[in-house]
Amino acid sequence: MGETMRAVDIENGKGPISALHITETARPTPTDSQALVRVKAFGLNRMDLLQREGKYPVPPQAPSTLGVEFSGIIESLGSSGGGAENFAVGDEVFGLAYGGAYAEYVAVSVKMLVRKPKELSWEECAGIPETWITATQALYLVAKFAQGKSVLWHAAASSVSIAGIQLAKADGASAVYATARQDEKCTFAVDTLGATAAFNTVTSNWADEVLKATNGKGVDIIIDFIGGGYFQDNLKAIARDGVIVALGFMGGPIVKGDVDISPILMKRVTYVGSTLRSRDEDYQGKLRDQLVEHALPKFKDGSFKVYVEKVLPWEKIQDAHRLLEENKTKGKVICTIP
């Protein structure tokens, strides 16, 4: 096996889309508990755009190469072998890494690998790990979702919300609401994903619409990627004893104007932030196990679907980033490596 591989690099370490290019770099060597995977496809995530611009706090154990989710074939194993899952060279897998997936090979803990079902394509599998594990973490571990609770997912056509809407519906949510900035995405959330209702945040007062839909009660759980701009309306739309989970700041981190925080007290609101990439392997591994036990059977029988907006060869990585930045996608953007 050669000592080098091709990988996507960023000229000068950070920059605009035009800084992305494929170059030759050192091939990683798996440590004791890792596998070296030959990548067939990798998924793009919004954190990749921020990392490319130098605006994302990369974990210390992550390589400089972008990308956290992938599918591929195990090329070699560290000295500890395949771990409890008994992985072997040649196994078809998909998984979550701290970084390095925009490359021909990625070294990743065997705890974060999942066997690829024959029912799913390489491209579909590459779109599962980050998004579905993030949705699982937010809904169950952080928000403490239980059957009968209502949920609102902002950014309805984002891959995490697409996963979350399906999870909440499957586990008996009393209602699943969503928001988006385009009517087309709202229609997608209702007609395709099965959300109870979806509200356009540009053309309507979505918080008032939520209260109207819930007879004034509000929703039990809100999963928010937008940040400062939705802070006040989140407090308006949340139900008593509700939980608001902050996963991102797509609309900026600053809350502007006069803000009434009294609902936090009067409604006994829990407002909590959460991240995934900075968590340790044990934490991520438990989420991976939950994904395998809870979601994988539903992927196999078609109950859960991975929505892929576009598949591009990795030589068109600039086009892939551009597509994601345009905020018009409904689902994953995936790149394939021949």
Q: Structural domain boundaries of the chain?
A: 4-128+277-336, 132-273
CATH class of the domain comprising 132-273: alpha beta
User: 215: which DSSP letter?
Assistant: T
The CA-based angle 316-320-321, given to 5 degrees, is 120
Instruction: Inform me whether the pLDDT recorded for 284 exceeds 70.
Output: yes
Model confidence over 69-125: pLDDT tens digits?
A: 999 999 999 988 777 778 999 999 999 999 999 999 999 999 999 999 999 999 999
Q: How far apart are CA 306 and CA 26, in angstroms?
A: 32
Which superfamily is assigned to 4-128+277-336 in CATH? Medium-chain alcohol dehydrogenases, catalytic domain (3.90.180.10)
Please give the pLDDT value at position 81. 79
Determine the pLDDT at residue 82: 74
CA 222 to chain centre: 16
Work out the percent of the chain whose per-residue pLDDT is above 90: 93
Give the pLDDT of residue 1.
Answer: 60
- Judged against a pLDDT cut of 70, whether residue 33 lies above it is answered with yes
Residues 60-69 have pLDDT tens digits of: 999 999 999 9
Q: What is the arithmetic mean of pLDDT over 163-173?
A: 98
Query: What is the enclosing helix (H) or strand (E) of 281?
Result: helix 281-290
The average pLDDT across 2-10 equals: 94
How far the first Cα of the chain sits from its last, in Å, is: 18
Confidence of residue 2 (pLDDT cuts 50, 70, 90): confident
CA distance linking residue 274 with residue 255, whole number of Å: 18
Separation CA 125–CA 121 (nearest Å): 6
Model pLDDT, residue 84:
73
Rounded to 5°, the CA angle 16-17-21 comes to 115
Two structure tokens written together for 309: 């907006």
d(CA 40, CA 72): 5
Tell me the pLDDT of the chain averaged across its residues: 96
Q: How many CB atoms lie within 10 A of CB 32?
A: 10
Mean pLDDT of 38-52: 97
The two three-digit tokens of residue 176, written as one number: 């699943």
- What is the model's pLDDT at position 85? 79
Which DSSP symbol is given to 73? E
How does pLDDT run across 206-259, given as a tens digit for each residue?
Answer: 999 999 999 999 999 999 999 999 999 999 999 999 999 999 998 889 999 999
